[in-house]
Each structure stands twice: as structure tokens, then as C-alpha cells.
A and B are shown apart, each in its own frame.
Chain A
Amino acid sequence: MTTAATVRDVGAADPTPSDLLLDIRDLRTYFHVMDGTVKAVDGVSFSVKRGQTLGVVGESGCGKSVTALTVMRLLDIPPAEIASGQVMFKGRDLLKLPDPEMRKVRGNEIAMVFQEPMTSLNPVYTVGDQISEAVILHKGISKKAGVEKSIESLRLVGINNPERRIKQYPHELSGGMRQRVMIAMALSCDPDLIIADEPTTALDVTIQAQILELLRKVQDETGAALMLITHDLGVVAETVQDVVVMYAGRVVERGTVEEVLLAPKHPYTMGLLDSIPSKGKRGQRLNVIKGTVANPFNLPPGCNFMPRCPFAFEPCQVHDPRIEEADPPDVACWLYTRAPGISLPPRKRPTVAPLEATQS
């Protein structure tokens, strides 16, 4: 068909730099529900380079998972609506790909690891069937070769005795083991990009340590890019190179992990870091971000974070800061960028207490 051919042509005449793997531009995903429209993702732009590890951080409801699901085109439309934006993957816009083409990308070039290792595996198929399904489909190999491949990927994720494991069902495995199977499944087709949506949130710390170590190792060995979605700043600090911080459907801050965690600029990032309990804060009250996460049906007119922001001043109530228009380009906040039409100089910038180790 012509559409497919056109898409390929576009891919051939790749305008983006070759090291840019995924480039999300002004993505807006809305949900039309009974009570109105939820702007779950409202103008998000960021990119992932080949081999890069990017952390997407934010609290529940900030749109980080919806961004990932939009990239994978896993949302039901309706109620979801992709109102605008582009998701350029290797020069092609995934949002415009016809379904059969998208199926060739999904699970093959972009793989996803979900949060719930319990519910994201099919309980009535063996582990081996589930891993080899993707390989046989995408790589067009025989069933026997598929079994070989699934044994190999299970071995890669550190599962002992994979020949036996492929015959087991998900309920026979522990939580950490299931998450390894999910990662093995994601790796089986040698993807260029792995999207891991809270891969360790449901796991205990000792198992989390194993899985993070595994993700690092796998990323290192295969050279795949990793987009790690999490709310845990500790996981971010240990696993990724670059970070974007999301709040209420927007990217509010971005930078390297050192920049964002050691010298945060946005008051929300500061608040998040400040509210982590630690030894040094014993006996003191924890700093809190007042109020609750913005109601998606009723966002404030100016900056979404304004009602909770301790530094809010006049322009925050009127003007909506966009990271795309910000200067410096890494934080969406009027404390740093001159608001349009307001000659008021930004107030003295807030500083955050240096992070201290939670243990000595």
C-alpha cells in the first residue's frame, strides 16, 4: 500500500540526527470521560538518544505512564485521544504508522517492561510460549529456534536452569522471577529502546537491587536505550544518566541526573527531594509540598504547580510556563524565565539543602 511506502520513504530521508532514537514533540494525550476531559499528557517533549538511559520521574497521575503508553500506541481510542504531537522513532512518526507497521515496531524495536509482573504475564501460557511468541512473530524464525531464543534470553537475565523454567507458568514464579521474565521478553527481539514502567515498584528492596543491576547489565551489553519511568528518586540516581521531571502532564525540569538531583531548579523537584525522610531529618518535621496533586479536571489558569508552590508570585497565577520556551531551557518556572508582559524581575531564587546520605 502507498501509505506504508510513504512512511518508509520518510524513514529513508531521515531529517533527524542519526543518534536520536526517540523524539517526542509536543505530545498531548487527552481522555474524554464522563466528568470531562483529562489532559493526562499536555504538551510533552523530550528525546532519547541511542544507548541513552533516561529517567521519567513524577508522582502518580503526572502522565508519565500515559506518555509511555502513547509511544507504544497501547491506549484505547476512544476514550483516549492523541490531540497533537509527534513521536519520531528512527525518523518515523509512530502516531501516523498504520497498525500493521506499528505491530512490527511494538515489542520488536521498542519493548516495554510493565510494573505489575503479576498481571502483565498471561497466566494460561508457559513462560517459554510467551517469550517465543514475540520472537517467532517478529523475527520469522521456527518454533524450535524460538524456544532456543527464549532459553537464551532467560539465561541473559540470570535465571538458573532456563530449560526447565520455560515450561513453567507465571504462577509458579516469584515476583522477582516474573519481572526477570518480563525483561527477558523485552530483550528477546533485541530492541533499540526498552521502556520500563516502574519495573521495581512492586518488588522488595533486595529484589529491586537485583533487577536494577540486571537492567544496567543488559543495557550495557546490548546497547539498547532505556527509558525508565519511576517515582523513586533513589532508583533514578542509580540507574539513569538523564532525567525529566513531570508534573500534571507537563515536563517541568530536565537535565542530567546530577543537575536535577543535586542542583534542582524547579520548586516541585526541590520539594520532592526535600520530602524524602532520612537520618539527618530525625526529630525535625519533614518539609512537605503543601496540598495535593493538581486535580486534572480543574487545573489552575497559570502554572499548574502554583497552588502548591512556596515561591509563587504574580506571573505564576496568569501565565503558564512552558519548558519549550524557557530560558535556561531546562526548567519551566517563572523564577528563571522572564514572564511575558511582566517587567518584574524574578525573585531571589530558592535553594535546596544538599542531599545527605540516608545511611552513614
Chain B
Amino acid sequence: MIDSASSQAPADPKKPMGEPLVVVDNLVKYYPIYGGVLRRKLGDVKAVDGVSFDINRGEVFGLVGESGCGKSTLGRTLIRLIPRTSGTASLNGQDIFSRKGDDLKRLRGEMQIIFQDPVGSLNPRMPVSDIIGEGLLAQQDKENGWGRREIRDKRVGDYLDAVGLRRDYARRYPHEFSGGQRQRIGIARALALSPEIVICDEPVSALDVSIQSQILNLLLDLRAEFNLTYLFVAHNLSVIQYISDRVGVMYLGTIVEIAGVDEIYSNPRHPYTIALLSAVPEPNPRVRKRRIVLKGDVPSPAAPPSGCRFHTRCWLREQLGRPESCETTIPELREIAGGHRVACHFAETVTPAAAAEAAHVVVPVALAAEGLAAAAPLAAIAGGEVEETESDAAETAAAIAAASTTTESGTSTDSSDSGSPPPTGPQN
């Protein structure tokens, strides 16, 4: 066994949580834009704009959102890889941003990060022993003895073991490893310092599906073994759902919804979350999803929309007849149920039926399985198959209405009014 740093407070994820491990309050990170002849400051890219959340000890906090929403910037600002603009954050009750010198160095050992790109994040000129040992060398003191090569190498070997690599790989260079193995090295480097919290910044996005599941398993094993807390940043909603305990959804620099993972996936209340979840393609060709296709692109974070930042693309606002408050008032992240917080003025009006109405596209199933579904009317399929995601007849009607007006009906137009039953039952 590896001796976990003795200085670390014993953490048991099962014990009732008292104080959260990390408290983030109104964190802001702007990147200034300079331009013109005099390189004057023209404005700011508001990458992270007033984000507040807690992370409990031992949990996996998932942070999800589209590219450019600020989720990676948030993670990096939090561990002081990049300076913040304003706001506060604390780890174990101690302020993160006011630390300096040796105090800051100690803090860095407690917060580690796993990067997305397993190629770019490892120095190609260093053997693995130096890559993992570099942090140990920086954090050496009389007590841990990491300044001594043999102690350091022992620890490097222990952590290579822990991430499932052979100890003698320590002498090899990064180019000798595959992508999945390199990511394991990155994980070993992060864990070698016995951190309290590990920021996982898209750790599996660059990996193939079959390797991705190996790394996810490893991360969960290591969490149990070393009592870790993860801030897990990813854009893949299935990965987030699998690994997280609580999830925060980000849009354009702000958190729009936070809830427990089951709550947020089964009962999303922010219109953006609902649209995001509906956009995930389902690997089961018989499951039909009613999809809300958002119009347009994410606005520029240099000039975010006024009021609610999502209002320019919001389907709920259209449904409600464009209420003024969406454009004028910034919605607060308010609690609507135990631990479920939403930043939407109209979160209470969001119902599955409302979402169904907005879902103007019913994703067609593979229509051509041996002609078996090809001739089936889409409406009938929709009625038969959408049951996966809906509960009452009104919604079915809405879905059928949506289906019959949509043009995405594949090869079924010629028979759209024949009354034949759905060719296959839902999910057998």
C-alpha cells in the first residue's frame, strides 16, 4: 500500500458531511481584450462570471457545458493555474486566493489536475520517473524525504502500480505509450502528491470509447482507495451521468442549474439543461427521443446577452410569449427543491409537457431495417416508441403532432396516413 500523506486529514466519504471541502463564492474570471493602435483595453471575455457552488468531501462534482462555457477556465482558476478576477474560494475552510509563498506551494500539493490532452500534457523530454517525480521534488521537505532519489522513485513506482502501469515503465518516455497509458501517467502525476481534490479536466474526451471506460473505472477505484474528491469537467453528458454525484450545468460563464445527478437527469428544470439532455444521441436505435434543437450558436462571452444569458436561444421564453423579465433581469440561482438550484425565472412552469411541445423534432429510428420499419408511419412509431420518455396521452398527441409536421420523416412520407401498428414493440 502507498502511505497516504500522513498530514492529510482522514476523509471518509460515507461520514455525514459537515463543512464542504471546497466553497466557491461569486468567482469571476475575465480575459481582457486589447486592440487598436494603442493596444487599449476594449473589453473583457467573461469566461467565468459569478459562479458559486460547494463541493463536499469525497464526492464527484460534475461540471458540464458546451465548449466555451467556461468550465475548464473555472477549474483552472480554482486551483490557481490562472489568476482570478474577483470572488473567493476556500479549501478546507482556508482561503485559496490569499495564499503566498510556501503557503501557496503547500496548497498546490493539495489541489491537482488531470488534463485533457494526454500527449500535450506530458513533457516529451522527460522520462516518466521525472514527470511524476517533478511535483514530489517541488514539494519535498525534511519530513517526507522526497528530495532523495530512492524515496522519490519508490513513490513513483507505487503510483504507477496504482494506475495499472508496470513499475519499470518509470524509465520510459511518453512517446512509448498509447493514449490511454499516457492518461494513466497524468493521473499518477496528479495523485502522487496525495491531493485533497483533483480537477479532472475532460480526462477521457481524447480517448477511444474502449479506453475511456478503462480510465473511468480507474478514476472511481482511485477515489475509493485514496479518499479523493473530484471536480469532473466534461462535455459528455453520459460520462457525467455515470461518474458524478452532483452536477452543475454551465452556460456562458454561469452555472444555470445544480442538483444531484439523478435529480438533474430525471427532472431537469432549466430550459438549457432540458435542451442539452435532449440533444444527446441515443445508441439504442429503438429509443425515440423528442429533441429540442436550439437555434443558432452560443453568443460571444465578450458580449453576453442582457438579463438571462440563455434568453436568445430559449425555447421556454418563446412558449411563454417572450416575457420581459428574461431580457432585463438576471435570474438568480435559487433553490426550488432540496439541493436543486436553478437560475431561471420560470423554472416552475417547466413541465415535461412543455418540453414535449418544444421538441419539434422526433428523431427517426433506423427506418430501414429490412424494410420493416421503412413503410411504417412515423406518427405510429412515435406513438409506440416515444413511451420511453413520456408518461401521458397528451404528450403522445403532442409528439404525433410534432412528428407529422416535421419533414425529417425519412422514407415514410408515402405511407404517413396508413394506420398500421408500429412494427416493433418498444424495447421488446
CB within 8 Å of B: which residues of A? Answer: 52-53, 59-60, 174, 176-177, 204-210, 212-213, 216-217, 220, 231-238, 240-242, 256-259, 261-262, 271-273, 275-279, 281-282, 285-289, 292-293, 354-360
Contact = CB atoms under 8 A, between A and B. Distances in A.
B371 to A, nearest CB: 10
B280 A275 contact: no
A205 B369 contact: no
Given A258-B286, A357-B287, A205 B235 contact: yes
B301 to A, nearest CB: 13
B285 A258 contact: yes
Nearest to B288: A238
A355 B428 CA distance: 11
B217 interface: yes
Interface stretch (B23-31, B50-58, B126-134, B289-297): B289-297
B280 A234 contact: yes
12 contacts: A205-B237, A206-B276, A207-B66, A209-B278, A209-B281, A232-B281, A275-B212, A277-B242, A278-B242, A288-B214, A357-B388, A358-B282
Nearest to B388: A357
Contacts of B176: none
A59 B208 contact: yes
A205 B66 contact: yes
Contact of B366 (A204, A210, A240, A272): A240
B241 interface: yes
Nearest to A261: B285
Query: For A206, A208, A241, A292, which residue has the most chain B Cβ atoms within 10 angstroms?
Result: A206
B274 to A, nearest CB: 11
Interface residues of B, number: 60
A239 to B, nearest CB: 8
A293 B208 contact: yes
A271 B208 CA distance: 12
A358 B410 contact: no
Nearest to A268: B210
Contact of B243 (A59, A237, A277): A277
Given A256-B369, A358-B280, A359-B265, A288 B275 contact: no
Contacts of A282: 241-242, 261
B349 interface: no
Contact of B66 (A206, A233, A261, A288): A206
Nearest to A287: B213
A286 B283 contact: no
A153 B59 CA distance: 50
Contact of B211 (A207, A240, A292, A358): A292
A135 to B, nearest CB: 25
A241 B266 contact: no
Contacts of A271: 210
B369 A241 contact: yes
A278 B241 contact: yes
The 3 closest A-B pairs by CB, nearest first: A234-B281, A277-B242, A275-B213
Given A256-B370, A288-B210, A288-B217, A276 B67 contact: no
Contact of A292 (B180, B237, B293): B180
A71 to B, nearest CB: 22
Interface string B323-337: 000000000000000
A191 to B, nearest CB: 19
B347 interface: no
Nearest to B410: A220
A187 B266 CA distance: 39
Given A233-B283, A237-B284, A262-B285, A209 B293 contact: yes
Query: For A233, A271, A288, which residue has the most chain B Cβ atoms within 10 angstroms?
Result: A288
A198 to B, nearest CB: 13
Contacts of A216: 364, 408, 410
Interface in B195-252: 208-214, 216-217, 220, 235, 237-239, 241-243
Given A257-B366, A275-B210, A286-B213, A237 B242 contact: no
A279 B283 contact: no
B156 interface: no
A258 B216 contact: no
B367 interface: yes
B238 A258 contact: no
A256 B178 contact: no
A241 B368 contact: yes
Contacts of A241: 366-369
Contacts of B8: none
B410 to A, nearest CB: 6
Given A216-B364, A231-B208, A293-B208, A238 B282 contact: yes
B361 interface: yes
Nearest to B265: A359
A174 B299 CA distance: 10
B178 A276 contact: no
B279 interface: yes
Contact of A279 (B212, B217, B265, B364): B265
Contacts of A176: 297
A207 B297 contact: yes
A359 B277 contact: yes
Contacts of A360: 265-266, 389
Nearest to A158: B295
B275 A275 contact: no
Contact of B210 (A59, A204, A258): A59
A238 B293 CA distance: 14
Given A59-B208, A234-B281, A355-B284, A277 B388 contact: no
Given A220-B408, A231-B208, A271-B210, A356 B284 contact: yes
